[in-house]
Chain A
């Protein structure tokens, strides 16, 4: 059953990657990478149980926090970039 769940999660990750590649805006890509991160966290936990290496949950925990930090950092970067552009356009 772990294998089935892992497979379904992989299918979902593939669909999210298609959305990330297609765009059309930067926000869609950020959303897709956020989803990809969540699915990766779940996949790491499931694979840990699949291989009876249950300590992989630690890595899933760390990954959840890192993926959150990544999303926020990229959003901050996009906002700063856009603010700089709009001030340049005004001046």
Chain B
């Protein structure tokens, strides 16, 4: 295409994006079509990728196609390996895409469709994609070093220590909160519980098939596993209707929490090939397929959004979680806009596979854009529901009451009409006894997804199958993260303990394996238990805590990135990471302040502890008081740690800018690529 045509095409993309954003942002009082959100997001991503990421690559990072990457220099056929850029893109996307971009946007839809949509698009283009891209490139230039190693080298030993502490804390809180999402999706649901229970023998069967029958034929066994999972979904319907079997698979929240804890402990200690790896394959297979299917479904069926642009809950009185739009919308949606966790992956496996520096732009910036698009799909899935239905599913009994009559009366009084009959009809359509008080985001997403698909693929007669497919899809990859996350945290603790007593660091020494697995499972199990016993549904306390922890890790990553950019260019260009850093500091520190000191017991941990202390006491009350004080201590601890990194980093920036400190770059020295002739 010649230059003139290219300019015309990009101007057209800009105009279409502006028009779509205008419709999304300014339309009031009538439902809008989901395609407007898709158009706005697609145009913004295209412009962000074409112009902003190109500017960062050329001017700030000076990506060099002639510089050999660690994949080339250190190639060993295992960790370091020159790999096709599309293959790395798929690998990286599969690692960063989890339940976060689905659950967070569904929860934040309580503010209306607009705040979440704008944050997901702008947050990704200006913050999340930038973070993933620059951390990936900096890691590539440092032989694939991890974020904690780069933090230690660039911001000092304190930076490394804080990054390590933040990663452990985030893992524990993350595992607790996603386990709670599964518990809330499966409680009193024999169909869902049966389907998920069946994925365990299916994964074991896949592991044995791979090991004994057809070694290494993973795609083949994943397809077989997927067919078996579909059969389990179909069979779940029969189980739910069977008077003898249904009670066997019907559990309360507490029982499910105990079962999940036992499962995670066992899975963490089992050989990887037997359960973790096959489940990981199955989950990735279902995840990539379902995300693709949902994207096609939204574009082809272009459903109408019934949620208004803004709801009355921007004032902080929302039933799903308490707190005003600023800062709580921005910590509720982390993955999808910016997620600190991604910096661990950008400085983990991915930098060791990159063939040339120029590919970091497509992999780092591009994969995060794809993740952001998944978040837009989640917003659409939540907002196609009638608002009354959305709030009936997502509001805890502690807010709207535990009977259908009380809940529908409370929700209708907010201006979102819904009746008990509507909810009963919907529950019957999706094969559940009830959909009231199903907090956590997953059931609402599943209903939304089933609603979209049932418009054409099978109609309402198969809505129950679509609903349980969506629940299975979410629960399957949440359970995979529980296995994998517990194991990753276990390895991190074993690495640290190995410095004190060598055998404790050996991952094959069973006393150490069992002890460290128990410590990690007990850590997140404590918060999970707190969540299932919480009369406000648990999500109200735990999701913001997770959001704060995740965004604080992003703060650490952006501190490291800014420090390196200041060393490269002094103040020039530092704004590219400094502006998102300043935004995240404002968001997370304000959110932390509210969670600690807000006078409302629904928001402030300490206010809730005080309110409970002043109420008539029981044994349960004293435990709730302790839990709230512990949540407050965890929040304060995270903030103090990140504040220390921030101060340490700022001290370095000032010293470099004043010329008081010699600039030491920790990059691996330039080596010309052997493949240069092929590439130019």
Check if A and B associate: no
Binding site for B on A (CB under 8 A): none
Binding site for A on B (CB under 8 A): none
